[in-house]
Every structure is written in structure tokens, then in C-alpha cells.
Amino acid sequence: FLTVTAVDSGSKALEFLGLNNNNNNSSSSSSNISLIITDYCMPGMSGYDLLRRIKESESFKDTPVVIMSSENVPSRINTCLQQGAQDFFLKPLQLSHVTKLKSHLFRCTTC
């Protein structure tokens, strides 16, 4: 059984994860979150900024983060991957992307 939670901004993602207000110790149970998917362009903060906050936290630093964007900017993609993104998908998503998402999800749920 898989539960999906969607939020509409990076700040709401941080709030859901318990990482808002520069608090790096999550109040939400990190064991229940298997994969984080974010857009690069969001209101208030970029997907890169969200990635950095997630990877700086003790609770979520090992949680796979996948970033997606409609903009093909190689330097942006490389920076996100170097800073810990598991993958970076260009929109529109392809079936092969969904297959990769499934592999990230199942790899993590067996951790």
C-alpha cells in the first residue's frame, strides 16, 4: 500500500517534513517517507533549495529526492545531482522515468 502526499510549495514540503524554521530534526516519521519528488521551479524556493534542506537534515538525508523540470539547463541538473538528488527528469515525463521512480521507491522501502 502506497500513500502519496502532495503540497504546492517548497515551504509546505518543509513544513510537512518537519524541517521548517531551520529545524533540521523532523517531527514527522522519516521511516514513512520513501521518496520525495519535487519540481525545480516552485513558488518561494527552488527544488535545489528544498533538496539542500532535505539533505542537511538527519532524518531525511538518506531519502531519495528526484527533481524534475521543463527547463534543460545542464549546469542546474549537474548541481542538483552533485548535491544529492537521486535523479533529475526533464518534462514531459516518459515511461522510462516512471520505471526509474519505481526502482527508487522499492529500493528505499526495503531499507
Per-residue pLDDT tens digits of the chain, which is 111 residues long:
678 899 999 999 999 999 987 555 555 555 588 899 999 999 889 999 999 999 999 999 999 999 999 999 999 999 999 999 999 999 999 888 888 888 777 665 444
The pLDDT value given to residue 28: 52
Close Cβ partners of 48 (under 8 Å, ≥ 6 residues apart):
40, 67, 76, 79, 80, 83
The pLDDT value given to residue 102: 80
Distance between CA 68 and CA 94 in Å, rounded?
12
The pLDDT value given to residue 109: 46
The pLDDT value given to residue 30: 55
Phi, psi of 46 (to 5 degrees): -85, 165
